[in-house]
């Protein structure tokens, strides 16, 4: 089966002398093409799920695959097709914005020339071309997140896993990000994690809600909105609250 898939995936964090904190339990999810919002309360396992999808973490059991490529056995090919923007994005001290993005491309297997070209295009996509020669570590928090986004875009991956990419962005930048989502999500898989239901707009085609170590909802945005009580002023938030509290 094509696309990114999680099959019976379990994962937990070891805690000193306190056993394991189980975060995901036998989770199965076929990530659709298009833009998916990954919702969940703090600690629901959104970042863990995206880290597993990016192979930054490996599942305790189960499999993660992309187009039949196993994340463990064919890691290099798998990683080349997946881009990941972690929640805590950190710039390498001393690198300019362009160097930072180009270096990310090189790390993903691009040639030096392709990485430089790709960096310019990615910076243009996130409207950072004017700051390309500034030291990345001297930018504001919001600008650094855009550098992180450009770093995820640079190698033109099939799957983009973006962990809370809009935190720290101002309203104008958020609007720009939504436009970008529409463009990049047209022909690839994009998963955006957030706990802010106000972020969910028509830029997203799918919604997944992660709750208690598993998926509580997986469907189209319209179907998700249908979970909201009738007459709700904020249907996305209401639907989310209804789902995690077990109400219809």
Partner 1 sequence: MLRISPAVWLTLPTLILSILYVTKAIYPNNYGVAATAGATSSMAFLVGFVAATAAWEAARLRRGGIWDAPHTRSRLEITIIAVTPSVLLGAVFLFGTVVAASVYGQAGMPEIRIVAVGFVAICAWSLLGFLAGLRLPMSVSLPSMLLAPFLWFAFVPALPVEWLRHLSGMYRDCCRIGADIAPAALFAGLIMNVTFIVVALYAIGALRMRWSRTAATAVLVAGVMISSAFASNVGPIPEVARDRSALKCSMVGATELCLWPEHDGPTSVFRPTLNAVIVALTREDLPIPSRWSEELAGSSSGDTLSLDLWKSDPDAIRWSIAQGLAPWPACSESPDTSFSGSSIDVLRGWWFTAMGGSEAMLQENLGWLIAEPSAFGVPPIKELYSAVGAASVASRVAWLERLTSSAAECQSPENYSVQ
* CB-count exposure of residue 95 (10 Å: 0-12, 13-18, 19+): middle
SS3 label, residue 170 = coil
Residues that bind partner 1 (rule: CB under 8 A) add up to a total of 24
The CB density around residue 220, as the number of other CB atoms within 10 Å, is 14
Smallest gap, in angstroms, from Cβ of residue 74 to partner 1?
Answer: 12
Nearer to partner 1, 5 or 100 (CB): 100
Distance of CA 38 to the CA centre of its chain: 8
Check residue 113 for interaction with partner 1 (CB under 8 A).
no
Site membership for partner 1, residue 86 (CB under 8 A) = yes
Integer Cα distance of 175 and 199 in angstroms: 10
Q: List the one residue out of 200, 143, 188 whose CA is nearest residue 170.
A: 143
Residue 94 interacts with partner 1 (CB under 8 A)? Answer: yes
Residue 13's CB is within 10 A of a number of other CB atoms, namely: 10
91 is an interface residue for partner 1 by CB under 8 A? yes
- Torsion region of 191: left, alpha or beta (phi above 0 gives left; psi -120 to 50 gives alpha): beta
215 part of the interface to partner 1, by CB under 8 A: no
* Span near partner 1 by CB under 8 A; candidates 11-19, 94-102, 201-209, 231-239: 94-102
- CB 105 → partner 1: shortest distance, Å? 10
Q: How does 60-87 read in b/e, with b if 16+ C-beta sit within 10 Å? A: eebebbbeebebeeeeeebbbbbbbbbb
Cβ distance to partner 1 smaller for residue 79 or 146? 79
Q: Which is nearer to partner 1, 132 or 239 (CB)?
A: 132
* Residue number, 3 or 135, with CB nearest to partner 1: 135
Helix 171-184 to helix 141-153 angle (10° resolution) is 10
| Interface pick for partner 1 out of 25, 103, 121, 220 (rule CB under 8 A) | 103
Write out the DSSP string of 20-35.
Answer: EEEEEEEEEEEPPSEE
* Residue in 36, 49, 99, 160 binding partner 1, rule: CB under 8 A: 99
Q: Which stretch binds partner 1 (CB under 8 A): 3-11, 24-32, 101-109, 218-226?
A: 101-109
Give the H/E segment covering residue 70: strand 69-70
In the bound complex, what is the minimum distance in angstroms from residue 231's beta carbon to partner 1?
45
Least spacing, CB of residue 1 vs partner 1, in Å: 22
46 binds partner 1 (CB under 8 A): no
Q: Which of 2, 26, 72, 90 contacts partner 1 by CB under 8 A?
A: 90
Residues that bind partner 1 (CB under 8 A): 54-56, 76, 79-80, 82, 84, 86, 88-95, 99-100, 103, 106-109
């Amino acid at each position: 089966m094509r696309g990114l898939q999680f099959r019976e995936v379990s994962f937990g964090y070891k805690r000193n002398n306190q056993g394991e904190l189980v975060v995901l339990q036998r989770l199965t999810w076929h990530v659709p093409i298009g833009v998916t919002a990954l919702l969940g309360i703090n600690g629901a396992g959104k970042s863990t799920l995206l880290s597993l999808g990016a192979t930054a973490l490996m599942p305790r059991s189960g499999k993660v695959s992309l187009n039949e490529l196993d994340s463990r056995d064919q890691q290099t090919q798998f990683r080349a097709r997946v881009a990941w923007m972690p929640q805590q994005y950190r710039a390498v001290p001393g690198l300019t914005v362009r160097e930072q993005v180009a270096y990310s491309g090189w790390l993903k297997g691009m040639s030096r020339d392709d990485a430089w070209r790709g960096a310019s295009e990615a910076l243009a996509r996130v409207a950072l071309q004017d700051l390309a020669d500034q030291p990345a570590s001297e930018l504001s928090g919001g600008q650094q997140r855009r550098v992180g986004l450009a770093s995820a875009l640079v190698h033109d991956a099939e799957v983009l896993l973006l962990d809370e990419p809009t935190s720290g962005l101002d309203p104008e930048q958020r609007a720009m990000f939504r436009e970008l989502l529409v463009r990049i999500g047209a022909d690839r898989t994009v998963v955006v994690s957030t706990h802010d239901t106000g972020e969910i707009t028509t830029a997203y085609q799918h919604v997944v809600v992660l709750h208690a170590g598993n998926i509580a909802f997986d469907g189209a945005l319209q179907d998700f909105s249908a979970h909201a009580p009738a007459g709700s002023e904020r249907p996305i938030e209401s639907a989310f609250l209804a789902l995690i509290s077990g109400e219809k």
